[in-house]
Amino acid sequence: MTNTRIVPLALLSVVAVATFTCAGPIASLFQSPSNQIQWRTDLNEGHEQAVAENKPMLIVFDADWCKYCEKMDDKTFNDSSVSSYVNEKFIPVRLDLADNAEVAEILEVERIPCSIALSPRADLLGRVVGYVNTVQYRETLGQVRALQARVERKLASQE
């Protein structure tokens, strides 16, 4: 092989390696908002929407200093299966622990990150405390939705 062929081939190899190495981080920069959880930051507005759409609220308490909260963001909440499921099946509300200490106390938040699922009637449907991986989080959210369906059926039968 001549030197004129080796240089373009070597350059192509470098570009290919760089593409595969950087594809994930670069792609995340261009991730569309539809692939991210559409967080609300006002609990009252979230509750009104939950009632209007008959969906449970998913309230997540966190803080900017919390390493496990950051891990939940990076791993669990950024997973497209989790984010699309949350956006479709819940009204997601994100609250800073320090700014919402009274609400956190009422909901008995003792550690963060803490995810609390409430029915539109404010019945507790589930709670996740601490970091959990994508599979565990989706499984818990599925259980929350199943519980809400059972509660709805029971309420409907009582009318």
Same domain, 25 and 67: no
> How high is the pLDDT of residue 58?
98
User: pLDDT grade, residue 74 (50/70/90)?
Assistant: very high
User: Across residues 64-70, what is the average pLDDT?
Assistant: 96
Residue 12 vs residue 77, higher pLDDT: 77
Which range, 5-9, 10-14, 61-65, has the best average confidence (pLDDT)? 61-65
> How high is the pLDDT of residue 155?
84
What domain range includes position 12?
Answer: 1-30
Q: Please give the model's pTM, rounded to 2 decimal places.
A: 0.77
User: pLDDT grade, residue 35 (50/70/90)?
Assistant: confident
Closest CA to 58 of 82, 24, 28, 33: 82
Same domain, 16 and 49: no
> How high is the pLDDT of residue 20?
39
Same domain, 42 and 81: yes
Same domain, 19 and 66: no
> How high is the pLDDT of residue 27?
45
> How high is the pLDDT of residue 29?
45
Same domain, 52 and 9: no
Number of separate domains in the chain = 2
Tell me the C-alpha distance between 67 and 122, whole Å. Answer: 29
> How high is the pLDDT of residue 152?
86
Same domain, 144 and 113: yes
Per residue, what are the HEC states of the chain? CCHHHHHHHHHHHHHHHHHHHHHHHHHHHCCCHHHCCCCECCHHHHHHHHHHHCCCEEEEEECCCCHHHHHHHHHHHCCHHHHHHHHHHCEEEEEECCCCHHHHHHCCCCCCCEEEEECCCCCEEEEEECCCCHHHHHHHHHHHHHHHHHHHHHHHHHC
Work out the percent of the chain whose per-residue pLDDT is above 90. 72
